[in-house]
Amino acid sequence: MITSNRRIWTSFSARRRSRPSPIVASCRHQPPRRIHAYAPPSNQQTTNTIMERQGAEDASHGDQTTGPPRLKVLQWNVQGLRPKRHQVLQAVFEEHLDIVLLQETLTPTDFEWRVAGYTPHMLPSLEGTRGCATLVRSTIPHRRVPAPVHCGNGVEVLALELQVGGLLLLVYNIYRSQRHQLEAGELLSLASHSSVLVAGDLNAHHPML
């Protein structure tokens, strides 16, 4: 098992209502943790829930014969993907992850990353940006969102649209440096009427942590 400074920050719109009600989980400098995202059937009033569990009693991955479809998600600010590719791949295959959201990859435009059984989506590191990457299990139908909602000048956003069972799920991978301002108005508006998972490094540490 890998120990690292992986940060986990997840947000889900909890119910269809006039105002979004995100659920947020945050931790820093913790041992690796799994995120289990449960997507209830679309005909239920509650459209999204997210549960985070840590322990050895997880059910075997892929056994989704009962209950809603389940996703295993990892969010990690890698601070340079190339020297940590083996660590990332170890986590991917040991944890049987469905989605991997990486920030500060520091990878150029011509960087190629191939992972067996997964489809990579890259946001390169250009002048003034740090780069993001999202890995999705290839068996999950998905597409890249060409024009994600605006989250602020200089804020890096990589968005995908996934088909999870009967649910259309938007996944936003976000990196905000300390010198930029996050503007979440459009994203929260989107979450008020769509199923949205937001994860990333927002450099917005809660004063209580």
Q: What whole-number distance in Å separates Cα of residue 95 and Cα of residue 45?
A: 31
DSSP-assigned beta bridge partners for residue 103: 77, 132
Q: What whole-number distance in Å separates Cα of residue 35 and Cα of residue 9?
A: 10
Mean pLDDT of 73-77: 96
* pLDDT band (50, 70, 90) for residue 209: low
Nearest alpha carbon to residue 121 among 163, 147, 159, 153: 159
Task: Considering only CA atoms, give the Rg of the chain.
Answer: 16
| SS3 state of residue 147 | coil
Q: What whole-number distance in Å separates Cα of residue 34 and Cα of residue 27?
A: 12
Q: What whole-number distance in Å separates Cα of residue 107 and Cα of residue 131?
A: 6
| pLDDT of res. 182 | 92
Q: Report which of residues 147 and 13 the model is more confident about.
A: 147
Total count of residues recorded for the chain: 209
Q: What is the pLDDT of residues 4-56, one digit of tens each?
A: 445 433 333 333 333 333 333 333 333 344 445 544 444 433 333 333 333 33
Is it the case that residue 119 has pLDDT exceeding 90? yes
pLDDT cut 90: percent of the chain above it: 58
Domains for the chain: give ranges and CATH numbers. Answer: 8-201 (3.60.10)
Whether this prediction's pTM lies above 0.75 is answered by: no
